């Protein structure tokens, strides 16, 4: 029963344009080229930076992807579109995003959309985005650290599916995203087994900065979806609630590109140190025992109180460097007088009337270079 309901839900979730707005033809050198269906005009970029790709997925389908290269880009945007569009309709938007955001852009059609083979389904969209990500890695050398995933509407499903698997991803953008497929048509608070695109569960696994964009007057996917995703994101970026915005017209508002540019710029300039500082508080580090913190100079093990940092011994004859946290170790006579510290492995004299060094050289470096003159005891 669950599989039947899931199949029916998929039918209501996907509306590929029919006929497709573009076709794939082959040049004389076997290179694929995309042309508009209506007038057979090729989809081209003035800079000639468009690559038309045919990718095989693990589901056995062959999908179409467009890669637009920006020579000034530092990051790459992987765009997953909504449920009623294909690459032909989005091509002009891709050109604008590539130029205004100064990014490389990869867009793709789901199985059953545009010139891609197969039928659209939740599992197929997951296989589709995984194939595109693999292509970015192998063909263009894009690592997850330099990748931003962008998901619009239904595209938020495959976007969060991949983002949950990439812990070092640079960023995620959810444009009119959904909590789940079933929550779009009815307000349910629990996740049912036959639901599709359970983003409500996957958003919690995303570790990178997440920008949520949603229109306040969205009649297809209520603003509650965007607000819910933003609240559940681990590293939520300042959201953009476009006043009066609907479901398919947010790109027309000037604050859309302005806010998106600021997000991309911050993702470009964010450093590894900043990213680690956000991750570090979530790590469970072993706690130091109270005894070691309170009595730094009474170490039982040599240098046990400062196992991380040590300094070089001033005396070459000292078998190991003194510790940093023991205050006694900074005294000039540590290697001679302070046997309780254990920083050096000098054996304590067996007799009680040992005479200590008197020369300034011994007191300064702590060595036994002049032990014949300063120490008259032979019980070492």
Q: 321 in a domain, yes or no?
A: no
146, 195, 218, 328: which one is catalytic? 218
Q: 218 in a domain, yes or no?
A: yes
Q: 354 in a domain, yes or no?
A: no
176 carries an active-site annotation: no
pLDDT, the chain, mean: 80
Range 248-255, long-range pairs (CB < 8 A, 24+ positions):
248/82, 248/220, 249/215, 250/175, 250/176, 250/213, 250/215, 251/93
- The Cα–Cα gap between 155 and 174 comes to 8
Nearest Cα to 121, choosing from 18, 2, 14, 19? 14
Distance of CA 253 to the CA centre of its chain: 28
At 164 the three-state DSSP class reads coil
pLDDT of 274 reads 67
Question: Strands 210-215, 240-242: parallel, antiparallel or unpaired by DSSP?
Answer: parallel
Q: Check pLDDT > 70 for residue 173.
A: yes
Q: 370 in a domain, yes or no?
A: no
Q: Which of 107-111, 279-283, 328-332 has the lowest mean pLDDT?
A: 328-332
pLDDT of 327 reads 45
Distance in Å from the first CA to the final CA of the chain: 87
Task: Decide: 158 and 120 in contact? Cβ < 8 Å.
Answer: no
Q: 314 in a domain, yes or no?
A: no
Residue with tokens 């040049």, as numbered in its chain: 27
64: which DSSP letter?
E
Dihedral angle sign, alpha carbons of residues 165, 229, 212, 214: positive
Q: Check pLDDT > 60 for residue 369.
A: no
Q: 248 in a domain, yes or no?
A: yes
Q: Check pLDDT > 90 for residue 161.
A: yes
81, 161, 225, 247: which one is catalytic? 247
Q: Which of 181-190, 228-237, 254-263, 333-342 has the lowest mean pLDDT?
A: 333-342
Residues with Cβ within 8 Å of residue 282, at least 6 apart in sequence: none
Which of the given ranges, 4-18, 183-197, 231-245, 315-329, has the highest pLDDT on average? 231-245
Over residues 359-363, the mean pLDDT reads 48
Q: What is the pTM of this model?
A: 0.71
Please report, for the domain that includes residue 117, its CATH number.
3.40.50.1820
pLDDT of 329 reads 43
pLDDT tens figures, 188-224: 777 777 788 999 999 999 999 999 999 999 999 999 9
153 carries an active-site annotation: yes
Domain range spanning residue 79?
57-278
294 carries an active-site annotation: no
pLDDT tens figures, 278-303: 655 555 555 545 544 444 444 444 44
121, 153, 156, 176: which one is catalytic? 153
What domain count does the chain have? 1
Higher pLDDT, 337 or 270: 270
pLDDT of 189 reads 73
Q: 205 in a domain, yes or no?
A: yes
pLDDT tens figures, 78-99: 999 999 999 999 999 999 999 9
Q: 109 in a domain, yes or no?
A: yes
Higher pLDDT, 273 or 325: 273
């Amino acid at each position: 029963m669950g599989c039947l309901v899931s199949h029916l839900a998929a039918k209501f979730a996907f509306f590929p344009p029919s006929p497709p707005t573009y076709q794939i033809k082959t040049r004389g050198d076997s290179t694929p080229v995309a042309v508009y269906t209506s007038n057979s005009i090729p989809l081209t970029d003035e800079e000639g930076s468009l690559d038309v790709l045919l990718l095989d997925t693990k589901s056995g389908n062959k999908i179409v992807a467009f890669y637009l290269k920006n020579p000034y880009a530092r990051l790459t945007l992987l765009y997953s579109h909504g449920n009623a569009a294909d690459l032909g309709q989005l091509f002009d938007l891709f050109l604008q995003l590539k130029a205004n955001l100064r990014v490389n852009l990869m867009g793709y059609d789901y199985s059953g959309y545009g010139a891609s083979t197969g039928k659209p389904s939740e599992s197929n969209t997951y296989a589709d985005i995984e194939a595109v990500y693999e292509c970015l890695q192998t063909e263009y050398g894009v690592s997850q650290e330099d990748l931003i995933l962008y998901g619009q509407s239904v595209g938020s499903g495959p976007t969060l599916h991949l983002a949950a698997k990439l812990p070092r991803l640079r960023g995620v953008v959810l444009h009119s995203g959904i909590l789940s497929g079933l929550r779009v048509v009815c307000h349910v608070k629990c996740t049912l087994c036959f639901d599709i695109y359970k983003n409500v569960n996957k958003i919690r696994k995303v570790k990178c900065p997440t920008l949520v964009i949603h229109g306040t007057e969205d009649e297809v996917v209520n603003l509650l979806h965007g607000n819910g995703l933003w609240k559940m994101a681990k590293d939520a970026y300042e959201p953009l609630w476009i006043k009066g915005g609907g479901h398919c017209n947010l790109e027309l508002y000037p604050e859309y590109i302005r806010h998106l540019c600021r997000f991309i710029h911050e993702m470009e300039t964010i450093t590894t140190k900043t990213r680690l500082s956000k991750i570090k508080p979530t790590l469970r580090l072993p706690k130091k025992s109270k005894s070691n913190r309170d009595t730094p100079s009474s170490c039982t093990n040599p240098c046990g109180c400062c196992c991380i940092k040590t300094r070089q011994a001033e005396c070459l004859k000292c078998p190991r460097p003194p510790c940093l946290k023991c205050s006694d170790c900074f005294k000039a006579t540590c290697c001679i007088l302070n046997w309780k510290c254990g920083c050096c492995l000098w054996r304590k004299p067996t007799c009680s009337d040992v005479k200590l060094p008197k020369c300034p050289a011994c007191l300064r470096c702590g060595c036994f270079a002049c032990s014949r003159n300063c120490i008259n005891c032979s019980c070492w």
